Structure 1
Protein backbone atom coordinates (compact mmCIF):
# COMPACT_ATOMS: atom_id res chain seq x y z
CA UNK A 1 0.00 0.00 0.00
CA UNK A 2 1.14 3.49 -0.77
CA UNK A 3 1.60 6.20 1.82
CA UNK A 4 -0.54 9.33 1.66
CA UNK A 5 -0.78 12.49 3.67
CA UNK A 6 -3.07 10.67 6.12
CA UNK A 7 -0.96 7.51 6.27
CA UNK A 8 -1.81 4.33 4.37
CA UNK A 9 -3.61 4.78 1.05
CA UNK A 10 -6.39 2.21 0.63
CA UNK A 11 -6.95 0.91 -2.89
CA UNK A 12 -10.64 0.72 -3.85
CA UNK A 13 -12.40 -1.09 -6.70
CA UNK A 14 -15.98 -0.37 -7.77
CA UNK A 15 -18.45 -2.78 -9.40
CA UNK A 16 -21.18 -0.57 -10.87
CA UNK A 17 -22.90 -0.68 -14.25
CA UNK A 18 -24.40 2.83 -14.25
CA UNK A 19 -21.88 5.27 -15.70
CA UNK A 20 -23.31 8.30 -13.90
CA UNK A 21 -23.03 6.56 -10.53
CA UNK A 22 -19.47 5.45 -11.27
CA UNK A 23 -18.49 9.00 -12.25
CA UNK A 24 -20.04 10.39 -9.07
CA UNK A 25 -18.25 7.78 -6.99
CA UNK A 26 -14.92 8.68 -8.58
CA UNK A 27 -15.56 12.36 -7.89
CA UNK A 28 -16.27 11.63 -4.23
CA UNK A 29 -12.92 9.91 -3.75
CA UNK A 30 -10.88 12.25 -5.96
CA UNK A 31 -9.82 14.56 -3.13
CA UNK A 32 -9.42 11.86 -0.45
CA UNK A 33 -5.67 11.39 0.09
CA UNK A 34 -6.13 8.06 1.89
CA UNK A 35 -8.55 6.47 -0.62
CA UNK A 36 -7.65 5.71 -4.24
CA UNK A 37 -10.12 4.39 -6.80
CA UNK A 38 -7.97 2.12 -8.95
CA UNK A 39 -10.59 0.23 -10.94
CA UNK A 40 -14.22 0.42 -12.05
CA UNK A 41 -16.14 -2.24 -13.96
CA UNK A 42 -19.77 -3.24 -14.61
CA UNK A 43 -19.15 -6.81 -13.40
CA UNK A 44 -17.08 -8.54 -10.72
CA UNK A 45 -15.11 -10.52 -13.29
CA UNK A 46 -14.40 -7.30 -15.17
CA UNK A 47 -13.00 -5.67 -12.04
CA UNK A 48 -10.84 -8.68 -11.21
CA UNK A 49 -9.43 -8.66 -14.73
CA UNK A 50 -8.32 -5.05 -14.18
CA UNK A 51 -6.88 -5.26 -10.68
CA UNK A 52 -6.59 -7.72 -7.81
CA UNK A 53 -4.40 -5.88 -5.29
CA UNK A 54 -7.29 -4.03 -3.67
CA UNK A 55 -8.12 -3.25 -0.08
CA UNK A 56 -11.87 -3.17 -0.72
CA UNK A 57 -14.43 -3.88 -3.41
CA UNK A 58 -17.53 -1.67 -3.44
CA UNK A 59 -20.45 -3.54 -4.99
CA UNK A 60 -23.84 -2.56 -6.36
CA UNK A 61 -26.39 -5.29 -5.58
CA UNK A 62 -28.41 -5.23 -8.78
CA UNK A 63 -26.26 -5.59 -11.91
CA UNK A 64 -27.45 -5.85 -15.50
CA UNK A 65 -25.59 -9.14 -16.05
CA UNK A 66 -28.15 -10.85 -13.78
CA UNK A 67 -25.56 -12.01 -11.27
CA UNK A 68 -26.61 -12.56 -7.66
CA UNK A 69 -25.12 -10.65 -4.72
CA UNK A 70 -24.16 -13.95 -3.11
CA UNK A 71 -22.21 -15.22 -6.12
CA UNK A 72 -20.54 -11.83 -6.60
CA UNK A 73 -19.43 -11.57 -2.98
CA UNK A 74 -18.19 -15.17 -3.02
CA UNK A 75 -16.19 -14.45 -6.19
CA UNK A 76 -14.62 -11.39 -4.58
CA UNK A 77 -13.83 -13.23 -1.36
CA UNK A 78 -12.25 -16.07 -3.36
CA UNK A 79 -9.93 -13.40 -4.77
CA UNK A 80 -9.10 -12.27 -1.22
CA UNK A 81 -11.26 -9.14 -1.28
CA UNK A 82 -13.74 -7.91 1.31
CA UNK A 83 -16.86 -6.12 0.09
CA UNK A 84 -18.95 -3.08 0.97
CA UNK A 85 -22.42 -2.89 -0.57
CA UNK A 86 -23.28 0.45 -2.21
CA UNK A 87 -26.95 0.41 -3.15
CA UNK A 88 -30.37 2.00 -3.17
CA UNK A 89 -31.23 -0.66 -0.55
CA UNK A 90 -34.66 -1.12 -2.06
CA UNK A 91 -34.71 -4.92 -2.06
CA UNK A 92 -34.54 -6.78 1.29
CA UNK A 93 -33.92 -10.12 -0.41
CA UNK A 94 -30.81 -8.84 -2.18
CA UNK A 95 -29.59 -7.32 1.08
CA UNK A 96 -30.09 -10.60 2.94
CA UNK A 97 -28.32 -12.47 0.15
CA UNK A 98 -25.31 -10.19 0.52
CA UNK A 99 -25.44 -10.43 4.31
CA UNK A 100 -25.35 -14.22 4.15
CA UNK A 101 -22.31 -14.07 1.87
CA UNK A 102 -20.42 -12.04 4.47
CA UNK A 103 -20.00 -8.44 3.32
CA UNK A 104 -18.66 -5.79 5.68
CA UNK A 105 -21.76 -3.63 5.53
CA UNK A 106 -24.19 -1.58 3.49
CA UNK A 107 -24.26 2.11 2.59
CA UNK A 108 -27.03 3.81 0.62
CA UNK A 109 -26.28 5.71 -2.58
CA UNK A 110 -28.57 8.44 -1.27
CA UNK A 111 -26.40 9.12 1.80
CA UNK A 112 -24.37 12.34 1.94
CA UNK A 113 -20.92 12.04 0.40
CA UNK A 114 -19.25 12.36 3.81
CA UNK A 115 -21.19 9.34 5.10
CA UNK A 116 -20.32 7.24 2.05
CA UNK A 117 -16.64 8.19 2.24
CA UNK A 118 -16.41 7.34 5.93
CA UNK A 119 -18.11 3.97 5.32
CA UNK A 120 -15.55 3.20 2.60
CA UNK A 121 -12.73 4.27 4.89
CA UNK A 122 -13.92 2.01 7.72
CA UNK A 123 -14.53 -0.99 5.45
CA UNK A 124 -11.22 -0.58 3.61
CA UNK A 125 -9.49 -0.88 6.97
CA UNK A 126 -11.39 -4.13 7.62
CA UNK A 127 -14.08 -2.71 9.90
CA UNK A 128 -17.78 -3.46 9.96
CA UNK A 129 -20.02 -0.66 8.68
CA UNK A 130 -23.05 -0.36 10.95
CA UNK A 131 -26.21 1.09 9.40
CA UNK A 132 -29.98 0.77 9.59
CA UNK A 133 -29.96 -1.08 6.26
CA UNK A 134 -27.37 -3.54 7.53
CA UNK A 135 -29.32 -4.22 10.73
CA UNK A 136 -32.46 -4.76 8.66
CA UNK A 137 -30.62 -7.18 6.37
CA UNK A 138 -29.42 -9.26 9.30
CA UNK A 139 -32.33 -8.98 11.71
CA UNK A 140 -35.27 -8.28 9.42
CA UNK A 141 -37.19 -5.11 8.73
CA UNK A 142 -37.42 -3.20 12.04
CA UNK A 143 -40.91 -2.06 11.04
CA UNK A 144 -42.11 -5.67 10.94
CA UNK A 145 -42.56 -7.74 14.05
CA UNK A 146 -39.84 -10.40 14.19
CA UNK A 147 -41.32 -13.88 14.28
CA UNK A 148 -38.10 -15.51 15.51
CA UNK A 149 -37.86 -18.42 13.09
CA UNK A 150 -35.07 -20.92 13.61
CA UNK A 151 -32.64 -21.71 10.75
CA UNK A 152 -34.46 -25.02 10.12
CA UNK A 153 -37.84 -23.30 10.08
CA UNK A 154 -36.47 -20.72 7.63
CA UNK A 155 -35.24 -23.50 5.36
CA UNK A 156 -38.72 -25.07 5.32
CA UNK A 157 -40.40 -21.69 4.81
CA UNK A 158 -38.17 -20.71 1.88
CA UNK A 159 -38.75 -24.00 0.07
CA UNK A 160 -42.48 -24.32 0.75
CA UNK A 161 -43.35 -20.67 0.17
CA UNK A 162 -41.37 -20.60 -3.09
CA UNK A 163 -43.75 -23.21 -4.51
CA UNK A 164 -42.42 -26.62 -3.50
CA UNK A 165 -44.95 -29.23 -2.36
CA UNK A 166 -44.76 -30.60 1.17
CA UNK A 167 -43.39 -34.01 0.12
CA UNK A 168 -40.64 -32.39 -1.95
CA UNK A 169 -39.69 -30.08 0.93
CA UNK A 170 -39.35 -33.23 3.03
CA UNK A 171 -37.03 -34.83 0.47
CA UNK A 172 -34.92 -31.70 0.04
CA UNK A 173 -34.49 -31.17 3.78
CA UNK A 174 -34.21 -34.83 4.81
CA UNK A 175 -37.15 -34.44 7.16
CA UNK A 176 -40.22 -36.61 7.47
CA UNK A 177 -43.35 -35.16 5.82
CA UNK A 178 -45.09 -34.97 9.19
CA UNK A 179 -42.12 -33.08 10.61
CA UNK A 180 -42.33 -30.58 7.75
CA UNK A 181 -46.03 -30.19 8.43
CA UNK A 182 -45.28 -29.60 12.11
CA UNK A 183 -42.74 -26.94 11.16
CA UNK A 184 -45.27 -25.21 8.90
CA UNK A 185 -47.87 -25.19 11.66
CA UNK A 186 -45.35 -23.68 14.05
CA UNK A 187 -44.30 -21.07 11.46
CA UNK A 188 -47.93 -20.08 10.93
CA UNK A 189 -48.43 -19.88 14.70
CA UNK A 190 -45.42 -17.58 15.08
CA UNK A 191 -46.65 -15.26 12.34
CA UNK A 192 -50.10 -15.18 13.90
CA UNK A 193 -48.63 -14.35 17.32
CA UNK A 194 -46.70 -11.49 15.68
CA UNK A 195 -49.94 -10.07 14.29
CA UNK A 196 -49.06 -11.12 10.74
CA UNK A 197 -51.28 -14.16 10.07
CA UNK A 198 -50.36 -16.52 7.22
CA UNK A 199 -53.10 -19.17 7.02
CA UNK A 200 -52.51 -20.03 3.34
CA UNK A 201 -49.49 -20.89 1.23
CA UNK A 202 -49.88 -17.59 -0.62
CA UNK A 203 -49.84 -15.75 2.70
CA UNK A 204 -46.63 -17.57 3.69
CA UNK A 205 -45.10 -16.49 0.38
CA UNK A 206 -46.06 -12.88 1.07
CA UNK A 207 -44.55 -13.00 4.57
CA UNK A 208 -41.33 -14.55 3.23
CA UNK A 209 -41.03 -11.74 0.67
CA UNK A 210 -41.80 -9.08 3.30
CA UNK A 211 -39.06 -10.44 5.54
CA UNK A 212 -36.53 -10.71 2.73
CA UNK A 213 -36.30 -14.50 2.69
CA UNK A 214 -37.58 -14.71 -0.90
CA UNK A 215 -37.04 -12.26 -3.78
CA UNK A 216 -39.69 -9.76 -4.76
CA UNK A 217 -41.50 -11.03 -7.86
CA UNK A 218 -40.92 -9.24 -11.11
CA UNK A 219 -44.00 -7.62 -12.59
CA UNK A 220 -44.14 -10.26 -15.29
CA UNK A 221 -43.76 -13.08 -12.77
CA UNK A 222 -47.24 -14.53 -12.33
CA UNK A 223 -47.29 -17.12 -9.57
CA UNK A 224 -50.07 -19.60 -9.04
CA UNK A 225 -50.26 -21.18 -5.61
Structure 2
Protein backbone atom coordinates (compact mmCIF):
# COMPACT_ATOMS: atom_id res chain seq x y z
CA UNK A 1 0.00 0.00 0.00
CA UNK A 2 1.34 3.43 -0.96
CA UNK A 3 2.28 5.75 1.90
CA UNK A 4 -0.22 8.53 2.58
CA UNK A 5 1.33 11.98 3.04
CA UNK A 6 -0.21 14.34 5.57
CA UNK A 7 -0.49 17.87 4.20
CA UNK A 8 -1.76 21.24 5.37
CA UNK A 9 -2.53 24.38 3.40
CA UNK A 10 -1.88 27.99 4.43
CA UNK A 11 -3.74 30.35 2.13
CA UNK A 12 -6.16 33.23 2.64
CA UNK A 13 -7.86 33.01 -0.78
CA UNK A 14 -11.10 31.33 0.34
CA UNK A 15 -12.36 30.42 -3.13
CA UNK A 16 -9.10 28.84 -4.19
CA UNK A 17 -8.69 27.18 -0.80
CA UNK A 18 -12.13 25.58 -0.96
CA UNK A 19 -11.42 24.23 -4.42
CA UNK A 20 -8.05 22.86 -3.40
CA UNK A 21 -9.47 21.23 -0.28
CA UNK A 22 -12.26 19.62 -2.29
CA UNK A 23 -9.73 18.20 -4.72
CA UNK A 24 -7.38 17.01 -1.98
CA UNK A 25 -10.22 15.14 -0.27
CA UNK A 26 -10.35 12.83 -3.29
CA UNK A 27 -6.64 12.05 -3.33
CA UNK A 28 -5.54 8.64 -2.08
CA UNK A 29 -1.87 9.65 -1.76
CA UNK A 30 -2.47 12.80 0.27
CA UNK A 31 -4.40 13.40 3.48
CA UNK A 32 -5.43 16.95 4.33
CA UNK A 33 -4.93 17.62 8.05
CA UNK A 34 -6.26 21.14 7.91
CA UNK A 35 -6.09 24.64 6.50
CA UNK A 36 -5.21 28.05 7.90
CA UNK A 37 -5.24 31.64 6.74
CA UNK A 38 -1.94 32.42 8.49
CA UNK A 39 1.11 30.56 9.74
CA UNK A 40 0.17 31.62 13.26
CA UNK A 41 -3.17 29.85 12.89
CA UNK A 42 -1.51 26.77 11.38
CA UNK A 43 0.97 26.37 14.23
CA UNK A 44 -1.77 26.72 16.85
CA UNK A 45 -3.74 23.75 15.53
CA UNK A 46 -3.40 20.03 14.75
CA UNK A 47 -2.44 20.70 11.12
CA UNK A 48 0.98 21.81 12.41
CA UNK A 49 1.85 18.08 12.40
CA UNK A 50 1.68 17.91 8.58
CA UNK A 51 4.65 16.45 6.73
CA UNK A 52 4.28 19.00 3.95
CA UNK A 53 2.73 22.47 4.15
CA UNK A 54 1.51 24.17 1.00
CA UNK A 55 2.29 27.78 1.84
CA UNK A 56 0.99 30.73 -0.14
CA UNK A 57 3.84 33.08 -0.95
CA UNK A 58 2.07 36.32 0.01
CA UNK A 59 -0.53 36.38 2.78
CA UNK A 60 -2.75 39.34 3.58
CA UNK A 61 -1.68 39.45 7.22
CA UNK A 62 1.47 41.27 6.14
CA UNK A 63 3.79 38.46 7.22
CA UNK A 64 7.17 38.11 5.52
CA UNK A 65 7.42 35.04 3.22
CA UNK A 66 10.86 33.93 4.37
CA UNK A 67 9.86 34.30 8.03
CA UNK A 68 6.80 32.12 7.37
CA UNK A 69 8.98 29.48 5.75
CA UNK A 70 11.39 29.43 8.68
CA UNK A 71 8.59 29.10 11.24
CA UNK A 72 6.98 26.20 9.42
CA UNK A 73 10.31 24.44 8.96
CA UNK A 74 11.19 24.94 12.64
CA UNK A 75 7.87 23.26 13.53
CA UNK A 76 9.04 20.17 11.66
CA UNK A 77 7.22 20.38 8.33
CA UNK A 78 8.65 20.64 4.86
CA UNK A 79 7.42 23.55 2.75
CA UNK A 80 6.17 23.80 -0.81
CA UNK A 81 5.54 27.46 -1.65
CA UNK A 82 2.68 28.17 -4.04
CA UNK A 83 1.58 31.46 -5.55
CA UNK A 84 -0.60 33.07 -8.18
CA UNK A 85 2.10 35.49 -9.32
CA UNK A 86 5.80 34.70 -9.67
CA UNK A 87 7.35 37.44 -7.53
CA UNK A 88 11.00 36.66 -8.22
CA UNK A 89 12.54 38.44 -5.24
CA UNK A 90 10.12 36.88 -2.76
CA UNK A 91 10.47 33.43 -4.34
CA UNK A 92 14.25 33.59 -4.05
CA UNK A 93 14.01 34.75 -0.42
CA UNK A 94 11.56 31.98 0.47
CA UNK A 95 13.70 29.22 -1.03
CA UNK A 96 16.84 30.65 0.53
CA UNK A 97 15.00 30.56 3.88
CA UNK A 98 14.42 26.82 3.55
CA UNK A 99 11.42 26.22 1.28
CA UNK A 100 11.69 22.89 -0.51
CA UNK A 101 10.24 24.12 -3.78
CA UNK A 102 7.97 26.56 -5.55
CA UNK A 103 5.02 26.19 -7.90
CA UNK A 104 2.63 28.70 -9.40
CA UNK A 105 -1.02 27.87 -8.87
CA UNK A 106 -1.71 27.39 -12.58
CA UNK A 107 0.03 23.99 -12.65
CA UNK A 108 -2.04 20.86 -13.16
CA UNK A 109 -3.15 19.23 -9.93
CA UNK A 110 -1.27 16.05 -10.84
CA UNK A 111 1.88 18.14 -10.90
CA UNK A 112 1.07 19.33 -7.38
CA UNK A 113 0.76 15.73 -6.15
CA UNK A 114 4.12 14.85 -7.69
CA UNK A 115 5.67 17.94 -6.10
CA UNK A 116 4.32 17.05 -2.65
CA UNK A 117 5.65 13.50 -3.00
CA UNK A 118 9.07 14.83 -3.99
CA UNK A 119 9.19 17.24 -1.06
CA UNK A 120 7.96 14.60 1.42
CA UNK A 121 10.75 12.29 0.25
CA UNK A 122 13.33 14.94 1.05
CA UNK A 123 13.74 16.30 -2.46
CA UNK A 124 13.41 19.77 -3.92
CA UNK A 125 10.90 20.84 -6.55
CA UNK A 126 12.75 22.68 -9.31
CA UNK A 127 9.96 24.19 -11.40
CA UNK A 128 10.74 26.33 -14.46
CA UNK A 129 9.46 29.33 -12.52
CA UNK A 130 11.91 28.69 -9.69
CA UNK A 131 14.81 28.27 -12.08
CA UNK A 132 13.88 31.54 -13.79
CA UNK A 133 13.59 33.32 -10.43
CA UNK A 134 17.08 32.21 -9.41
CA UNK A 135 18.55 32.97 -12.81
CA UNK A 136 17.01 36.45 -12.88
CA UNK A 137 17.89 37.28 -9.31
CA UNK A 138 20.42 40.00 -8.62
CA UNK A 139 20.24 39.82 -4.84
CA UNK A 140 22.93 38.61 -2.48
CA UNK A 141 21.41 35.09 -2.25
CA UNK A 142 22.64 34.38 -5.77
CA UNK A 143 26.44 34.56 -5.70
CA UNK A 144 28.31 36.12 -8.58
CA UNK A 145 30.52 33.41 -10.08
CA UNK A 146 33.33 34.11 -12.51
CA UNK A 147 33.11 32.28 -15.88
CA UNK A 148 35.75 29.72 -14.89
CA UNK A 149 34.05 29.16 -11.53
CA UNK A 150 30.76 28.51 -13.32
CA UNK A 151 32.46 26.07 -15.69
CA UNK A 152 34.09 24.10 -12.88
CA UNK A 153 30.84 24.05 -10.87
CA UNK A 154 28.80 22.94 -13.88
CA UNK A 155 31.17 20.14 -14.88
CA UNK A 156 31.83 18.89 -11.37
CA UNK A 157 28.14 19.02 -10.42
CA UNK A 158 27.24 17.08 -13.58
CA UNK A 159 29.02 14.05 -12.16
CA UNK A 160 32.60 14.41 -13.34
CA UNK A 161 35.45 13.75 -10.95
CA UNK A 162 37.63 16.67 -9.95
CA UNK A 163 40.38 15.30 -12.18
CA UNK A 164 38.04 15.05 -15.18
CA UNK A 165 36.67 18.52 -14.43
CA UNK A 166 40.21 19.92 -14.45
CA UNK A 167 41.05 18.11 -17.67
CA UNK A 168 37.96 19.48 -19.44
CA UNK A 169 38.79 23.03 -18.31
CA UNK A 170 42.44 22.67 -19.29
CA UNK A 171 43.69 23.43 -15.80
CA UNK A 172 45.47 21.52 -13.03
CA UNK A 173 43.58 19.57 -10.38
CA UNK A 174 44.82 22.01 -7.73
CA UNK A 175 43.51 24.95 -9.74
CA UNK A 176 40.15 23.24 -10.23
CA UNK A 177 39.96 22.62 -6.49
CA UNK A 178 40.77 26.28 -5.86
CA UNK A 179 37.87 27.38 -8.09
CA UNK A 180 35.56 24.88 -6.41
CA UNK A 181 36.56 26.15 -2.98
CA UNK A 182 35.84 29.69 -4.16
CA UNK A 183 32.38 28.61 -5.32
CA UNK A 184 31.66 26.97 -1.95
CA UNK A 185 32.79 30.07 -0.09
CA UNK A 186 30.59 32.35 -2.21
CA UNK A 187 27.56 30.16 -1.55
CA UNK A 188 28.39 30.11 2.16
CA UNK A 189 28.53 33.90 2.22
CA UNK A 190 25.18 34.01 0.40
CA UNK A 191 23.61 31.92 3.16
CA UNK A 192 23.19 28.86 0.94
CA UNK A 193 25.93 26.42 2.01
CA UNK A 194 27.08 23.79 -0.49
CA UNK A 195 29.55 21.53 1.27
CA UNK A 196 28.97 18.29 -0.65
CA UNK A 197 28.83 17.38 -4.31
CA UNK A 198 25.09 16.78 -4.03
CA UNK A 199 24.57 20.23 -2.53
CA UNK A 200 26.71 21.81 -5.25
CA UNK A 201 24.61 20.05 -7.89
CA UNK A 202 21.47 21.39 -6.24
CA UNK A 203 22.81 24.96 -6.20
CA UNK A 204 23.88 24.66 -9.84
CA UNK A 205 20.38 23.49 -10.74
CA UNK A 206 18.67 26.21 -8.71
CA UNK A 207 20.77 28.95 -10.26
CA UNK A 208 20.58 27.75 -13.84
CA UNK A 209 24.26 26.79 -14.07
CA UNK A 210 23.50 23.18 -15.01
CA UNK A 211 23.71 21.96 -18.62
TM-score range for the pair, normalised by the shorter chain length = 0.5 to 0.7
Q: Which has the higher helix share?
A: 2
Question: 1:56 aligns to what?
Answer: 52
Specify the SS of the correspondent of 1:58: strand
- Give the Cα separation in 1 of the matches to 2:95 and 2:143: 17
Question: 2:113 aligns to what?
Answer: 117
Specify the SS of the correspondent of 2:44: helix
- Give the Cα separation in 2 of the matches to 1:73 and 1:150: 25
Specify the SS of the correspondent of 1:38: strand
Question: 1:163-183: per-residue Cα shift (whole Å, max 9, x none)?
Answer: xxxxxxxxxxxxxxxxxxxxx
Specify the SS of the correspondent of 2:22: helix
Question: 1:33 aligns to what?
Answer: 28
Contact in 2 for aligned 1:89/1:95 (Cα 8 Å) = no
Matched residue pairs, number? 141
Question: 1:24 aligns to what?
Answer: 19
Question: 2:144 aligns to what?
Answer: 150
- Give the Cα separation in 2 of the matches to 1:125 and 1:89: 27
Question: 1:47 aligns to what?
Answer: 42
- Give the Cα separation in 2 of the matches to 1:106 and 1:86: 6
- Give the Cα separation in 2 of the matches to 1:150 and 1:137: 15
Against the structure 1 CA distance between its residues 103 and 149, is the aligned structure 2 distance closer, same or farther, given a 3 Å change threshold? closer
Give the structure-2-normalised TM-score. Answer: 0.62
Against the structure 1 CA distance between its residues 105 and 149, is the aligned structure 2 distance closer, same or farther, given a 3 Å change threshold? closer
Question: 1:189-216: per-residue Cα shift (whole Å, max 9, x none)?
Answer: xxxxxxxxxxxxxxxxxxxxxxxxxxxx
Contact in 1 for aligned 2:86/2:104 (Cα 8 Å) = no
How far has the Cα of 1:127 moved from its partner? Answer: 1.7
Question: 1:81-115: per-residue Cα shift (whole Å, max 9, x none)?
Answer: 11001112331111111011021111110111211
Q: Which has the larger radius of gyration?
A: 1
1:139 aligns with 2:113: no
Query: Unmatched 5+ residue regions in structure 2?
Result: 146-211
- Give the Cα separation in 1 of the matches to 2:86 and 2:125: 18
Contact in 1 for aligned 2:51/2:76 (Cα 8 Å) = no
How far has the Cα of 1:64 moved from its partner? Answer: 0.5
How far has the Cα of 1:27 moved from its partner? Answer: 2.1
1:70 aligns with 2:72: no
